[in-house]
Amino acid sequence: MPKTPERSAIVGWGSVTPIGSNPCSTWEAALSGRSGIQALHDPWCSDLATRIAGRVDETVFASLKPILRRRADRCAQLALLAARQAWDMALERAPGLDPDRVAVVIGTGIGGLSTMHQQHVQLSEGGASRVNPLTVPMLIPDAPAGQVAIDLGLHGGAHAPVSACASGAEAMMLAQMLLNDDRADLVLAGGTEAPVNRLGLVGFSAMRALSSRNDAPEQASRPYSIDRDGFVLSEGAGVLAMMRDRDAPKGATLGWQLASGSSSDGHHIVAPEPQGIQASRAINDALRRADIHPEDLCAVQAHATGTSLGDLAEARAMHRSLRAVADSLPVYAPKGQLGHLLGAAGSVEAILGLQALSEGILPQSINADPLDPGVDLAVTTSGPVKLQEHQSERFMLKNAFGFGGHNISLILAAPCNKPVRTA
């Protein structure tokens, strides 16, 4: 039996998503059922099979200095925007933090894909002299973590987990490990991704992973639906400020991460293990480390991307781990609205999960109806669902899975009857 970790208190958060420029607006859009998926009209995608994606509002970048926008990939820029929100909130709720004891853990699935594509074009069309000398520091996957540490003046360590679509959730797992090992007093943890460019769309489309519903963008992302045809590529970032629960000032806590679980499929670089055996091990690991039972959960936030194999594998994993509870436990699939933010998905969605626990309501899973009969879960297809209380807290299972067979499950908690309306 692993030692039960000290729960990590969430004292700040920040996000930039296709449906909101901060956590508050993102939550309100999620609750309203609004989709962030749109048609792409850029000349560079006119000949592509997939011409839809989830994009953030361009106005959010206005707060970044022009020199920073020139020297940082869009992936790092999004991380900075989300991290600044989380850091500002953390300083308000837990003042007096020592920058030498604040760590950064920002994951990404790919890193600076836009820079990689742009500079390859420059090299091919203009020759070596046209390549930006900052190409490498802009495209490396640890650039977002490094840029956040530089921007905020933090010296407690900068880490960059790269585990595809599980990166943001893995960052939260590593943050809790750093706190429990007393390597930091506060950790800014999360994920970021900016894959909406010609190379990103072509690459995923070539493996037939993307939806091609170009004529109906808002209905294209269909997790768990019988007629799903792939995920929708999206961009964004989510960062949470985490600290040991005993160190969090009274009244500062927005919610908690109780524990995390992990496993590896060891099966295929892209396809999940079809029976969900190893994904189930990650779920079981998280529940065991959190010292709670399936019956204690009030909701599940699913990874559910809208791919034919992945959605069924996750459903099977949940039935393996949650047993009879899986038949009635409300399941929210946020990617119907957000699209797939890849390395940012886990952290962006975790913030939504904590808001749902605090508010006592789970948003609708849009576009999931008609449900695939093979899923057999209580997916919130008909509208938002009121959450049941468990004593004074509510508990949620949050899943994140990535190419390569990376499986991360988190147990999140929030106090009942404590709505959070802060941005």
Catalytic residue positions, numbered: 165, 303, 340
d(CA 299, CA 228): 23
φ, ψ at 410 (rounded to 5°) = -120, 150
Q: In the numeric block, which tokens belong to residue 307?
A: 């791919």
Between CA 255 and CA 12 the distance in angstroms is: 9
Q: Are 402 and 265 in contact (CB under 8 A)?
A: no
Q: What six digits make up the tokens of 411?
A: 């147990």
Dihedral, CA of residue 242, residue 140, residue 77 and residue 333, to nearest 10: -60
CB neighbourhood size of 48 (10 A) = 17
What span, in angstroms and rounded, lies between the C-alpha atoms of 182 and 373?
Answer: 47
134-162: string of b/e by CB count within 10 Å (b at 16+)?
A: ebebbbbbbbbbbbbbebbebebbbbbbb
Structure-derived torsion over alpha carbons of residues 219, 224, 229, 230, reported in degrees to the nearest 10? 90
